[in-house]
Amino acid sequence: MIGLILAAGKGTRMRPYSNAINKEMSLIGESPVIEYNVKALADAGVKKAFIVLGEGKWQIFEYLRDGSRFNIALSYIYQDLGEKEEKKGTAKAIQVAEEWVNDDFIVIYGDSFFHPYDFLRSEIELHEKEKADVTMGIYMMKEYKDYGIVRTESGKVIDILEKATGEEAEKTRVDDMFAVNSGPIVFTREVFPYIRRTPVSPAGEYWITDTIRLMIKDGRKVLAYRIPEGVFWRDIGRMKHRMEAEAYLLSKHYEYNVLNSK
CA-wise closest residue to 163 among 186, 139, 176, 180:
180
| Beta strands 73-78; 48-53: pairing state | parallel
What is the per-residue pLDDT across 25-35, written as a single tens digit (0 to 9) for each? 999 988 999 99
Which H/E stretch holds residue 123?
helix 120-130
Region 139-167 average pLDDT: 89
How far is Cα 167 from Cα 246, in angstroms, rounded to an integer? 34
pTM: 0.92
CA gap 137, 124 in Å, rounded: 10
Higher-confidence residue of 165 and 32: namely 32
Q: Tell me the backbone φ, ψ of residue 68, rounded to 5 degrees.
A: -60, -35
3-state secondary structure of 217: helix
**Per-residue b or e along 22-54, where b marks 16 or more CB atoms closer than 10 Å to that residue's CB:** bbbbbebbeebbbbbbbebbbbbebebbbbbbb
Kindly report, residue by residue over 85-118, the tens digit of the pLDDT.
Answer: 445 899 999 999 999 999 999 999 999 999 999 9
Domain with 198, as residue range(s), is 2-260
Q: What is the pLDDT of residues 204-222, one digit of tens each?
A: 889 999 999 999 999 999 9
Q: Which of 47-61, 214-228, 229-243 has the lowest mean pLDDT?
A: 229-243
Interatomic CA distance for residues 89 and 91, integer angstroms: 6
Q: What percent of the chain has pLDDT over 70?
A: 90
CATH of the domain at 129: 3.90.550.10
Domain count, the chain: 1
Quick one: which of 37, 41, 48 has its CA closest to 2?
48
